[in-house]
């Protein structure tokens, strides 16, 4: 009898279960709000990427509803054929203005932005230089490229300089060099030293591509991101990538930069060319999110007020929060088992914060990754601090 060719599916999954490395889906019933229903239990949401609480903002919901009335629920095609609506064009115009760039281009997701654009920016005869802790979507985009690849130590500009200097000695010479980094690293909450990275790249004639998924709506003037935070120009950072899926509260990816970049990107990126465009309500909600960020600066200010308070409290209690500089605050406990026990204790006390374990982080660096939300009240933050302190003491972590 022939062996079942799909047998590996079950055996590999069961192996993950045995190692306690499988993902168990939690079901959210209703909107992503500070207090929500997860698996039927009322909990305080403390691990959502919805930094500013915009996913439930009235203006975004109204914009989406109105777009359904005027444009329907789907675009009907991919962007280059019949799927570009006036809403998409207006969103890109407004996003470019917000980013203070010549042009912007909206992709279907952040992942598709990296997977589709990176292989086109650098190919055979080129070199991609990537931070060792870059996001999986960057890693996949780099793997899809035919370019040579090099990795530099996380956030280490001296090591980046060394890699770039070696690249200059390569024969035959590389046509072009692309340096890629996350802006904010999602597991630790630390920022790339983008100003120094840009200087190093410029000194070696390299382009810079920053994935600012976790910096938009968080860093810089009015939440404009890490390029704004470091007061850099488009000559310093040629490709600024981001998403609508986090602080903007909706879904989608995008790049901002020169008109040449955008013209190149939509003619070359197969993920953009061959995927259906955003439904009208999604595009309209993204457009409303840009408008909210421009006009309601209180959301970003409140996010940082909560962040500073929570970080101080966690440090005072005795938790290890690593080197976080952003609203992502890891509570590092070491063993995967301890992180899962802490997550369960928090859930019992009404706080939803998931454990992050190997292989997402090193085996001895398991943690609870918390993400602050501007929609939380001061009482909510106080509630979470109390829950962490009680659970940490009960498990002898502090």
Pick from 249, 254, 288, 251: nearest CA to 65? 288
Handedness of CA 335, 340, 345, 350 (dihedral sign): positive
Encoded tokens for 164: 């770039």
Residues with catalytic roles: 186, 214, 246
What is the spatial distance between Cα 117 and Cα 98, in angstroms, rounded to a whole number? 22
Peptide bond into 286 cis (omega under 30): no
Pick from 135, 139, 251: nearest CA to 185? 135
At residue 288, φ and ψ (nearest 5 deg) are -65, -35
Count of other CB atoms within 10 angstroms of residue 143: 12
What DSSP string describes 75-122?
--SBIIIII--HHHHHHHHHHHHHHT-SEEEEES-HHHHHHHHHHHHS
> Contact 214/328 with Cβ under 8 angstroms?
yes
H or E segment to which residue 383 belongs: helix 378-394
């Amino acid at each position: 009898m022939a062996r079942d060719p799909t047998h590996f599916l079950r055996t590999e999954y069961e192996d993950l279960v045995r190692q306690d490395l499988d993902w168990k889906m939690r079901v959210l019933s209703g909107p992503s709000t500070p207090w929500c229903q997860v698996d039927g239990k009322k909990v305080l949401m403390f691990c959502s990427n919805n930094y500013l609480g915009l996913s439930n903002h009235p203006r975004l919901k109204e914009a989406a509803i109105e777009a359904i009335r005027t444009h329907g629920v789907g675009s009907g095609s991919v962007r280059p054929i019949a799927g570009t609506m006036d809403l998409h064009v207006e969103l890109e115009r407004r996003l470019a203005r917000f980013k203070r760039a010549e042009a912007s281009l909206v992709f279907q997701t952040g992942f598709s932005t990296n997977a589709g654009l990176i292989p086109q920016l650098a190919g055979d005869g080129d070199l991609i230089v990537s931070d060792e802790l870059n996001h999986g979507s960057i890693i996949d985009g780099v793997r899809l490229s035919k370019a040579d690849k090099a990795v530099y130590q996380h956030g280490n500009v001296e090591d980046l300089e060394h890699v770039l200097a070696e690249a200059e000695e390569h024969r035959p010479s590389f046509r072009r060099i692309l340096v890629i980094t996350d802006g904010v690293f999602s597991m630790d909450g630390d920022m790339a030293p983008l100003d120094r990275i840009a200087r190093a790249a410029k000194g070696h004639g390299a382009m810079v591509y920053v994935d600012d998924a976790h910096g938009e709506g968080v860093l810089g003037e009015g939440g404009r991101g890490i390029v704004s935070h470091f007061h850099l120009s488009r000559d310093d950072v040629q490709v600024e990538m981001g998403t609508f899926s986090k602080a903007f509260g909706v879904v989608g990816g995008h790049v901002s930069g020169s008109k040449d970049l955008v013209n190149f990107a939509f003619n070359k990126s197969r993920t953009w060319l061959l995927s259906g465009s955003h439904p009208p309500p999604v595009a309209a909600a993204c457009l409303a999110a840009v408008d909210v960020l421009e006009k309601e600066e209180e959301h970003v200010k409140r996010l940082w007020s909560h962040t500073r308070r929570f970080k101080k409290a966690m440090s005072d209690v005795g938790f290890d929060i690593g080197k976080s500089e952003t609203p992502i605050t890891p509570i590092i406990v070491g063993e995967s088992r301890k992180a899962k026990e802490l997550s369960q204790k928090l859930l019992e006390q009404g706080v939803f914060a998931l454990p992050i374990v190997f292989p997402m982080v090193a085996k001895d660096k398991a943690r609870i990754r918390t993400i602050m939300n501007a929609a939380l009240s001061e009482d909510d933050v106080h509630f979470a601090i109390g829950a962490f302190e009680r659970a940490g003491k009960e498990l002898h972590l502090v």
